[in-house]
Amino acid sequence: MQYLPIFTDLTGKAVLLIGGGHVALRKARALLDAGAVLTVVSHQFETDFQHWAAQGKAVLVQGDFQPAQISGHWLVIAATDDDAVNAAVHQAATARQVWVNTVDDQDKCEFIFPSIINRAPIQIAISSGGTAPVLVRRLREQLETLLPQHLGPLATLVGKFRKNVQQKLDNFAARRQFYEQVFSSKVVSLLQSGQPQAAEDTLEQMLDGHQPLRGEVFVVGAGPGDPELLTLKALQLMQQADVVVYDYLVSEPIMQLVRRDAELICVGKKAGAHSVAQEETNALLIRLALEGKKVCRLKGGDPFIFGRGAEEIEVLLPHQIPFQVVPGITAAAGCAAYAGIPLTHRDYAQAVQFVTGHCQKDGKEPDWQSLSRPNQTLVIYMGLMKSAHIQAQLLAAGRSADTPVAILENGTRPEQRVFTGTLGQLAALIEQHQVQSPALLVIGEVVALQKKLAWYGAQTPRAQITPLN
Ligand code: SAH
């Protein structure tokens, strides 16, 4: 960044302007608008300069520029049509470490004048650092049409109440919530329709009667898809929410159960598809809660199992936003039950491990030895893409190629598909049946029981498995 934008207060400050022609006049106007006190050095002066001198806003010095004139000034502007004079002004000013702007000569500028959009007290300054002035002008025109004229009066009005608001509302979150309410209240339309007094009265009443709305976030597990697997608590909170922030895993029939007039915001989360960045989701939850809304963060399965639920709660803490966490039936439990696979069984599996097929950030591999032990069940979330790798690693670590496996696609939903086979066939089965997300991989001897225990939905053809007994 070659230029650092700063806003300077020039009220009552002495500024030296060298030049009295029309270019100098343009600069003089901007400086006088900002309250600067001008000394103008030139042989001739445009008539406006004479008026300003008569009003005491400018001192006119007729004659040549003298370097000594610089002392006592905060800024210098070289605006003559003589390059040699401008160069001399620039040199004299920089030698004295006084900021200088040389009109139309960027190399001799220690500071530049940006293009300004003025909705005082709100100001927007734009600059291309002298590279693309036409583009800057276009940008300015576009922004001018975007920013309503009442923005200035609105900022002035809330500025007037700032101290009172600070006294009445002692924490940042409450103040922010109050201002958010003001900006979407009729204060704005009153200003728009030219009724500043009524706007001020309304704002005063709002502050007097302000009861901070308590925003809250419910982090709710929606289970694997069948709406009847929702907990009572999940349903209650879904019905209370003003806004539901959900991701793609939450099934359509479950979405039908949220409060009818709740605002629905989808934040994606589908492997390979566009999704909202986690930081954006976090920021969204904070914003909505600070607006005083009851926010239901509805997540597939259980929020604390491969659900990033903790991350979404952690960001609420600094803002003192209250929250609740409602567990949901995680995909492993739900999908295995609906497929007829007991995840543990006295005879076949004394342990079950839930693992993610997604690589860790640092590309670190899981402990394949521990995952390959017999007499335990392995449930792999998000494992479709990596199935060939998972298969190879488990075999290499000693798990038998005959170990029964199941692929559970869309578990607990009407479109559920279950494929079984052996570890040696895992990737081929997925390929053969074109299995789609969401799907779970279940690996272990318990899968053999699926033949006997399957009860839900249409039974799909499956590869032959070796009976266990
Ligand atoms: N928090 C969720 C898991 C989120 S990770 C939970 O506790 O269930 C997303 C992965 O969960 C998917 O890639 C898939 O592996 C699994 N999954 C979720 N719902 C599923 C369903 N209905 N059928 C099969 N797998 C599912």
Q: What is the pLDDT of residues 383-426, one digit of tens each?
A: 999 999 999 999 999 999 999 999 999 999 999 999 999 999 99
Q: What pLDDT, on a 0 to 100 scale, did the predictor assign at position 137?
A: 93
Q: What pLDDT, on a 0 to 100 scale, did the predictor assign at position 461?
A: 47
Q: How far apart are CA 188 and CA 198, in angstroms?
A: 11
**What amino acid positions are annotated as catalytic residues?**
247, 269
94 pLDDT exceeds 90? yes
Annotated binding site for NAD(+): 22-23, 43-44
Residue 177: pLDDT band with limits 50, 70, 90: confident
User: Which residues does residue 122 pair with via DSSP β-bridges, in sequence order?
Assistant: 119
Q: What mean pLDDT, rounded, does the chain reach?
A: 92
pLDDT (mean) for 194-199 = 96
pTM assigned to the model: 0.61
Residue 269: pLDDT band with limits 50, 70, 90: low
Q: How far apart are CA 180 and CA 175, in angstroms?
A: 9
Which amino acid is located at 8 in the chain? T
DSSP per residue, 145-198: HHS-TTHHHHHHHHHHHHHHHHHH--SHHHHHHHHHHHHTSHHHHHHHTT-HHH
Residue 329: pLDDT band with limits 50, 70, 90: very high
HSE-CB of 295 using CA atoms within 13 angstroms: 31
Provide the b/e sequence for 253-267 (b: ≥16 CB within 10 Å): ebbeebbeebeebeb
Nearest CA to ligand 1 atom 18: 331
Residue that wins the pLDDT comparison between 169 and 272: 169
How many A from CA of 437 to the centre of ligand 1?
A: 8
Peptide bond into 467 cis (omega under 30): no
Nearest ligand 1 atom to the CA of 381 is: 15
Which amino acid is located at 285 in the chain? L
Spatial CA neighbour of 377 closest among 415, 329, 411, 344: 344
66 pLDDT exceeds 90? yes
Nearest ligand 1 atom to the CA of 411 is: 23
- The token pair that represents 18 in the structure block: 């060298």
Q: What pLDDT, on a 0 to 100 scale, did the predictor assign at position 453?
A: 95
